[in-house]
Chains A and B, each alone.
Chain A
Amino acid sequence: MTTSIPPERLKAFYVQMARIRRAEEAIVALYPEQEIRCPTHLAIGQEAVAVGVCQALRDGDTVLSGHRCHAHYLAKGGSTRGMFAELYGKATGCCGGKGGSMHLASPETGMLGASAIVAGTVPMAVGAALAATLRASDDVSVAFFGDAAVEQGVMHESLAFAALRSLPVVFVCENNLYATLTPISQRQVSADIWPRAAAHGLAAVGVDGNDVVAVYEAGAAAVARARRGEGPTFIEAKTYRWREHVGPNFDTDVGSRTQAELDGWMARDPVASLARTLEARGILTATERASIDAVLEAEVADAVSFAKASPFPEPAMLRTDVD
Chain B
Amino acid sequence: MRELKYREAIDEATRQAMAKDDRIFVLGVGVDDAKGIFGTTRGPALEFGGKRVLETPLSEATLTGVAIGAALRGLHPLLVHARNDFLMLTMDQLVNNAAKWRYMSGGTMRVPFTIRAIIGRGWGQAAQHSQSLQAMFAHVPGLQVVMPATPADAKGLLMTALTTETPVVCLEHRWLYERSGPVGEEPYYTPLGHAAVVHEGRDVTVAGLSLMVGEALEAAKALAAEGISLEVVDLRTARPLDSETVCASVVKTGRLVIADTGWRSFGVSAELAARVGEQCFGELRAPIGRVALPDVPTPASSALEKIYYPGPAEIAAAVRATLSGRGRGPAPETAPNAAARGKEFSGPF
A residues lining the B interface (CB < 8 Å): 62, 64, 93-99, 103, 105-107, 112-113, 115, 117, 120-132, 134-135, 139, 141, 153-154, 157-158, 160-161, 164, 320-323
**Docked-complex contact B69 and A157, CB < 8 angstroms:** no
Distance of A95 Cα from B109 Cα, bound (Å): 10
**Cβ contacts under 8 Å, B97 to chain A:** 115, 117, 120-121, 124
**Cβ contacts under 8 Å, B64 to chain A:** 123
**Cβ contacts under 8 Å, A106 to chain B:** 108
**Docked-complex contact A158 and B166, CB < 8 angstroms:** no
Known contacts A93-B106, A97-B106: does B144 contact A323 (CB below 8 Å)? yes
Distance of A95 Cα from B73 Cα, bound (Å): 18
Q: How large is the interface on B (under 10, 10 to 19, 20 to 34, 35 or more residues)?
A: 35 or more
**Docked-complex contact B105 and A161, CB < 8 angstroms:** no
Q: A176 to chain B: closest CB distance in Å?
A: 23
Distance of A62 Cα from B63 Cα, bound (Å): 19
**Which residues between 45 and 70 of chain B lie within 8 Å of chain A, taking CB atoms?**
51-52, 56-57, 59, 61-70
Which of chain A's residues has its CB closest to B51's CB?
A134
Which of chain A's residues has its CB closest to B65's CB?
A123
B residues lining the A interface (CB < 8 Å): 25, 51-52, 56-57, 59, 61-75, 77, 92-93, 96-97, 101-109, 141-142, 144, 166, 240
**Cβ contacts under 8 Å, B59 to chain A:** 154, 157, 160-161
Distance of A17 Cα from B108 Cα, bound (Å): 27
Q: B271 to chain A: closest CB distance in Å?
A: 16
Known contacts A127-B70, A134-B70, A157-B59: does B65 contact A120 (CB below 8 Å)? yes
**Docked-complex contact B96 and A117, CB < 8 angstroms:** yes
Q: Which interface residue of A112, A127, A141, A158 has the most chain B CB atoms within 10 A?
A: A127
Distance of A120 Cα from B94 Cα, bound (Å): 11
**Cβ contacts under 8 Å, B68 to chain A:** 123-124, 127
Q: A140 to chain B: closest CB distance in Å?
A: 12
Q: B145 to chain A: closest CB distance in Å?
A: 12
A-B contact pairs, 23 of them (CB 8 A): A62-B73, A95-B104, A95-B106, A103-B104, A103-B105, A105-B108, A106-B108, A107-B72, A107-B109, A112-B69, A113-B109, A123-B62, A123-B63, A123-B65, A123-B93, A124-B68, A124-B69, A124-B97, A125-B69, A132-B73, A154-B59, A154-B62, A323-B142
